[in-house]
Amino acid sequence: MANPQKSKGDAYERELATYLNEQVFGEEQCQRAPLSGGGKSGIVIAGGADLVGTPDVFIEAKRVERLNVRDAMRQAERNIDRSSTSDVPVVITRRNREATGDSLVVMRMKDWKKLYRQFLLFNGKIKDEPRVVSR
């Protein structure tokens, strides 16, 4: 009999891939990592991201009721170190009975600030040169 927790996690990885393909990429670009048995390629990378085809981000997917986000982030960072990539580690999590779109996305402030700055630049909310603000 299959482990129900693993089955739940595997299903969440597939949900996330579908959600990102529909809501972000507009085509089938990302998928569950081959290591978990959901990928289409023959590549198997132990300790890799849970999803492949997500440029510049290294996704660690967690579907649990209670999550230690710091432990999950350390796991993602450890896996990044093993895979020799410069992707940004991101933990995406949801609880049971939550919609995929209500998942939480957790990342380090140093990574989030770059993302937010690019968003603001793109929308003309800030100028290209960063301001230095003293504390």
* Model pLDDT for residues 87-126, shown as the tens digit of each residue: 999 999 999 999 999 999 999 999 999 999 999 999 999 9
Domain count, the chain: 1
Residue 104 in domain: yes
pLDDT at 128: 82
Q: How far apart, in whole angstroms, are the C-alpha atoms of residue 2 and residue 55?
A: 32
Residue 122 in domain: no
Residue 42 in domain: yes
Would you mind telling me the total number of residues written for the chain in this entry? 135
What percent of the chain stands above pLDDT 90?
72
51: CATH: 3.40.1350
Residue-range definition of the domain harbouring residue 26: 4-108
Residue 133 in domain: no
Residue 10 in domain: yes
Residue 64 in domain: yes
pLDDT at 34: 79
Q: Dump the DSSP string for 41-102.
A: SS---TT--SEES-TTEEEEEEE-SS--HHHHHHHHHHHHHHHT--PEEEEEEE-TT--GGG
pLDDT at 62: 97
Residue 131 in domain: no
* Model pLDDT for residues 20-42, shown as the tens digit of each residue: 999 999 999 999 997 654 444 44
Residue 67 in domain: yes
> Which pTM value belongs to this model?
0.83
pLDDT at 5: 86
